Structures are given as C-alpha cells and as structure tokens.
Amino acid sequence: MATPFVQGRLRKEPLSFVIKTECNHCGKAITIEINTEMNYKILRGPTNPLVFAPFVDFDKLTDPSIIDAF
C-alpha cells in the first residue's frame, strides 16, 4: 500500500493507485484508491475494512527486501 507514496515521491508527481481485492471471509469485492499523500478512499465494499499490516523489525532485517520478511 506504500507503492503510490514511494513512487510519487521518487517521481515528484502525484500518483494514485486502485487496488481491487476481495474479503477473504465473505468474498465481497473491495476497491480501494490510494494516492501519493497516503490518503485512501473505499470505492467499493465495506466502509471500514480490516487491513492487515505486517510488522517488520528493521533493526534485525537481513532479507534483501521487506517482502522477504513477510
């Protein structure tokens, strides 16, 4: 979810991304728009979806990317 924030800052231009996913519990479609300012808007689906954000201990991270630590 940090991709538009990082890409927008690197390119020095405002960007927005649309994520299309679904609830793992009931299968309902969820569409979320996120922009360079880390603002998000729920375009489709529940108004208060639960979002999973894994914690990564950067002091102990030895993997080449945080993706590998997930």
Asked if 69 contacts 63 with a C-beta cutoff of 8 angstroms, the reply is: yes
Per rule CB under 5 A, is residue 51 in the interface with Zn ion?
Answer: no
Among 1, 2, 18, 23, binds Zn ion (CB under 5 A): 23
Kindly state the smallest distance separating residue 42's Cβ from Zn ion, in Å: 13
Per rule CB under 5 A, is residue 6 in the interface with Zn ion?
Answer: no
- Report the length, in residues, of the chain: 70
Residues ≥6 apart with Cβ < 8 Å to 33: 16, 17, 18, 19, 40, 41, 43
Per rule CB under 5 A, is residue 61 in the interface with Zn ion?
Answer: no
Per rule CB under 5 A, is residue 25 in the interface with Zn ion?
Answer: yes
Which neighbouring-strand residues pair with 18? 33
What residues line the site for Zn ion (CB under 5 A)? 23, 25-26
